[in-house]
Every structure is written in structure tokens, then in C-alpha cells.
């Protein structure tokens, strides 16, 4: 499972890097068009916000796997080392449960908002919720990976 999750993490990093690059290029093109060519591109703000949202949600899953999110794991491990593993499992269960709930609710929102489109892009608002659902699913996967590592007594990296 660890190798599978590492491959997913690398793929997410590549996608997020591509989204950030696209975001930067689009904003640069907008600045050039607006201030040098005096041409307004009405679709740029909506596309920039859309790309930023996708990047943030996919990056959240990567941050969780790396232990970059705020968490109580290191604090608990220092104060109460005897209960660090059971409490880590509880924390992982809360993370997985919350992520699955987020996934379910975002799928419902994607369905409800699918007919609503951005004014200038003519793409569905539902795509943002698809990204949220994907992020929730990945967070659940990475939380389960961490919990399995704790159950096996393996060093699993930072506790989320």
C-alpha cells in the first residue's frame, strides 16, 4: 500500500505543479494584456480562481500524507508515549471518517451544481466539487495508510 500511495502522491505533485504553472502563466498573460495591450480578458479571474481551488484541494491530500497539516501527534507522543499509538488510531479514524463525509457531501454538491456554469468559461461549477471529492477520497486513503502502519508497528512518519 505504501508504494501505491507514494505513486499517487507523486502524480498529485505533478498535477499540482502543472496547475500552479498554468495559474502563473494565465495571470501573467492577463497582466500583459491588461496593462500593456489595454485588452481585458474577462475569463481570466474565473479560471485563476478555479485553478487555485483545484490546486488547494489536491494539495491538501499531499500535505496530509507528508504530515504537514497541523496535528496533535507529536505533542501526544511526547506527553503520553504509552497511548500514542491508540490515540493515533483514533485520530486516523476521525480523519478517515471526516474525509469520507466530505467526499459524500461534495459528490452531492457536484450533482446539484452541475447545471450551473461559470459566466465566461462555460464549464460547470460542479468540477470544483469533483476536486473536493477526489481530495476527500485521497485523504481517506492516506489516513488508512497511516493507520495500517500504526497497527503493524511500522514507522509511518508524522502522525496527521
Residue 71 pLDDT more than 80? no
Residue 158 pLDDT more than 70? no
- Residue-averaged pLDDT of the chain: 88
Using CA atoms, how far apart are residues 105 and 107, in angstroms rounded to an integer?
Answer: 5
pLDDT digits (tens, 9 = 90+) for 112-134: 999 999 888 889 999 999 999 99
Name the phi and psi angles at 117, rounded to 5.
Answer: -120, 160
Name the phi and psi angles at 138, rounded to 5.
Answer: -70, -40
Cβ count near 47 (within 10 Å): 19
Diameter over CA atoms, the chain: 65
Q: Which residue has the higher pLDDT, 66 or 159?
A: 66
Say whether 114 sits in a helix, a strand or coil.
coil
pLDDT digits (tens, 9 = 90+) for 74-115: 666 677 777 778 888 888 899 999 999 999 999 999 999 999
Q: Can you give the pLDDT at residue 110?
A: 96
Q: Can you give the pLDDT at residue 15?
A: 94
Amino acid at each position: 500500500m505504501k508504494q501505491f500511495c507514494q505513486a499517487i502522491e507523486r502524480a498529485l505533485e505533478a498535477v499540482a505543479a502543472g496547475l500552479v504553472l498554468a495559474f502563473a502563466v494565465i495571470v501573467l498573460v492577463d497582466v500583459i494584456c491588461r496593462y500593456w495591450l489595454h485588452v481585458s480578458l474577462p475569463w481570466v479571474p474565473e479560471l485563476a480562481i478555479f485553478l487555485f481551488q483545484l490546486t488547494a484541494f489536491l494539495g491538501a491530500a499531499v500535505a496530509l500524507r507528508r504530515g504537514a497539516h497541523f496535528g496533535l501527534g507529536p505533542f501526544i507522543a511526547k506527553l503520553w508515549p504509552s497511548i500514542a499509538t491508540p490515540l493515533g488510531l483514533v485520530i486516523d479514524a476521525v480523519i478517515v471518517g471526516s474525509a469520507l463525509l466530505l467526499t459524500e457531501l461534495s459528490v452531492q454538491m457536484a450533482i446539484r451544481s452541475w447545471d450551473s456554469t461559470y459566466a465566461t468559461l462555460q464549464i460547470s461549477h460542479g468540477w470544483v466539487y469533483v476536486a473536493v471529492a477526489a481530495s476527500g477520497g485521497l485523504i481517506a486513503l492516506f489516513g488508512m495508510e497511516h493507520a495500517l502502519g500504526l497497527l503493524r508497528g511500522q514507522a509511518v512518519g508524522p502522525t496527521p
